[in-house]
Amino acid sequence: MKRLATLLLACVAAATAAGQARAQEWPCGLPSGQPLWFEFADGSVSFRQALFGKPGIVVATSGLQRSAELRSLGAHTVYWHMSLKGLAGGPPAPAEPEHVVERANALFDLAVAATGCATPVIALNELAGASRATPWPPEIYRYRANVLAVVTTLAERGAQPVLLVPGKPSGGGAPFVAGDAAVWWREVALHASIVRQMHFNAPHAHRKGPVLSQRARRIAMRAAVAPFLALGIPADRLGLLLGFQSGPGKGGREGLEPLEAWLEIVQQETLSARQVASELGLASVWSWGWGTFSENSADPDKPTAACVYLWTRDPSLCDGPAAAGPAFPASLTAGQIALPDGAHCTTQAGRIATTDVEALAVATGDRRVALTALLTRLVLARDGGAVAAADLDRAERWLVGTRFGDDTAAYEGELAARGLDRALARSIIADQFRRQALAAGLAAAGSSRSLAVVLRSRLRDVRRTAVCLRDELPGRAPHAWGSRVATLTLPPAAVTIAARARATRGGVAVLLTGRVRSLRARELVTVYARRPGETAYHAAGIARVSTDGRWSLRVAQRQGTVYRAISRSAASPPLTVRARR
């Protein structure tokens, strides 16, 4: 996963730069926007004229009459070829090479007639066996050569072929791009655009909620194109296809109810694609799933879903909220990456600044580690309380005195060697104080869970709310600095508690004493008591701590009362003082 994340970030950076430098030029008066949106609507889409027959929409369709009708209503048209198999054959039985060029030429002539464009965009649905690893058997090599011949022939005639490629976004089942396949993909990209088909399970996505759902889909979309970007294929030769199909096992609606839930997923998927395509500079986004090809794919809600889809990407194209009804959460911002200036992430616990990420990445050598450390700090700052400047001063003096022989220059030199300055060092020290305070607070609350378990749980909850630039997220496990910067590790804090007489007469006050060992400049001790029959502790009093760390407090004694002393840094073991008979 770490290698994949690194690859994605590198590809995002490269694609963003490339996308800003160039943009796909589309023929025959097609809109110049990037990405350009294409909507599938052949004869299987009964509502194509009502929803897609209007200015500002590019329809991927086939047939002379259907194309002419849609253009007469103001739409642009490109050609949709439903089955690449009819041109190139399939991996088990590839077509004879002499037939492939003949069929490609016939397709070009048909596309020109249907679109009224001498240099038409032609969508080729869809490549078979994209995930097959090399070395390929002879029939696969022949099939891939046939596909290459199709796109080459179309491009030489002046067309702009678009090859639709299925497969999982990453891992097993994703398109294979190594070895001989890498050469093949690069050659295809010289003549055609490559569009990755994205099919998400709507019920699964809806259970995640808008933030996690859109994050997961954006990450998947980036992962789907990242291997092609890594091959050096420009972003303006790549695109995404969104699947809004119905029917069991098709990776679309999958029976999601109520309708408003499905429409919310349609909206979120559209927003995710728009964000990723804009971020990477992708050439196109295609929609699929509006057709009815069988009883299983029939869905009376398709026109409504299509309207919401159009409204999401451009509110002037359809009144999505009116079509969806009042229960539809018509938000174009929920779950989107919309960050204040200077922020890398926003979370329910606070904001992570881009400058802090950059600075800490120098010290850690890893941006993800830096992000994790900063998110851990947000949780600790929220739950571990404030750290006074006097506390940091005292801790820093202790570190310089104990570990560097009071040599401040040596201390600062060690920090510089690790990519740190005094300000970062003090923030690392503050994190440790907050850990101590959080552990003490858990003890005061009577929690039986360890600090590690609690901190991991709270970090996970906050991470779920994180919205980060390019979805570059912190890790899931809390970060501790001890293993990386041992010279800044504070000694453990501790509190002791004792009674001058462990057994007293009932009702007689008892003197509790103890010591606090911590580097806090100022400490207070709260004594908590739990009487017989009680399940929770309650505060019994507060004691001041002297400069040498000693404290004392006289409390009223009842038989079998259990006491604990809690400072801002540590908690004592429980002490039971029994009454004398």
> Residue 58 carries which DSSP code?
E
Instruction: Report the C-alpha gap between 501 and 510 in whole angstroms.
Output: 7
Instruction: Report the C-alpha gap between 241 and 416 in whole angstroms.
Output: 49
pLDDT tier at 507, thresholds 50, 70, 90: low
Mean pLDDT value across residues 383-387: 92
Instruction: Report the C-alpha gap between 164 and 425 in whole angstroms.
Output: 52
Q: What is the pLDDT of residue 17?
A: 43
Cα 236-242-245 angle, rounded to 5 deg? 155
Least confident of 61-70, 141-150, 159-168, 414-423: 414-423
What is the tens place of the pLDDT at every residue in 330-351? 888 888 899 999 999 999 999 9
The pTM score is 0.84
3-class DSSP assignment, residue 459? helix
Segment (H or E) for 463: helix 451-464
pLDDT tier at 23, thresholds 50, 70, 90: low
39 pLDDT higher than 90 = yes
579 pLDDT higher than 90 = no
* Percent of the chain whose predicted confidence (pLDDT) is above 90: 81
19 pLDDT higher than 70 = no
Q: CATH number for 494-580: choose from 2.60.40.10, 3.30.70.270, 2.40.160.20, 3.40.50.300.
A: 2.60.40.10
Mean pLDDT value across residues 236-250: 94
pLDDT tier at 155, thresholds 50, 70, 90: very high
502 pLDDT higher than 80 = no
**CB atoms near residue 2 (< 10 Å):** 9
Instruction: Report the C-alpha gap between 370 and 362 in whole angstroms.
Output: 9
Instruction: Report the C-alpha gap between 276 and 214 in whole angstroms.
Output: 11
Q: Phi, psi at residue 312, to the nearest 5°? A: -65, -40
Comparing CA positions, the residue from 332, 318, 316, 235 lying closest to residue 35 is: 235
Looking at the chain, the domain(s) classified CATH 2.60.40.10 span: 494-580
3-class DSSP assignment, residue 327? coil
Q: What is the pLDDT of residue 7?
A: 44
Segment (H or E) for 566: strand 561-566
pLDDT tier at 133, thresholds 50, 70, 90: very high
Q: Directed axis angle between helix 367-384 and helix 2-21, to 10°? A: 110
- Say how far residue 546 (Cα) sits from the centre of its chain: 50
The structure tokens 């050598």 sit at 365
- The half-sphere exposure of 229 on its side-chain side, counting CA atoms within 13 A, is 28
Q: What is the pLDDT of residue 20?
A: 42
Mean pLDDT value across residues 424-441: 94
Question: What would you measure as the largest C-alpha separation in the chain, in angstroms?
Answer: 108
* DSSP bridge partners of 565: 527
pLDDT tier at 484, thresholds 50, 70, 90: confident
Mean pLDDT value across residues 391-408: 96
Instruction: Report the C-alpha gap between 519 and 496 in whole angstroms.
Output: 15
Mean pLDDT value across residues 430-435: 95
Looking at the chain, the domain(s) classified CATH 3.20.20 span: 2-324
Q: What is the pLDDT of residue 69?
A: 97
3-class DSSP assignment, residue 388? coil
More confidently predicted of 486 and 493:
493
What is the tens place of the pLDDT at every residue in 362-373? 888 899 999 999
Q: What is the pLDDT of residue 489?
A: 92
What is the tens place of the pLDDT at every residue in 274-309? 999 999 999 999 999 999 999 999 999 999 999 999
Mean pLDDT value across residues 99-119: 97
CATH number for region 2-324: 3.20.20
* Percent of the chain whose predicted confidence (pLDDT) is above 70: 94
pLDDT tier at 559, thresholds 50, 70, 90: confident
Rounded to the nearest integer, the mean pLDDT of the chain is 92
Q: What is the pLDDT of residue 6?
A: 47
**Is residue 185 a contact partner of residue 243, using CB atoms and an 8 Å limit?**
no
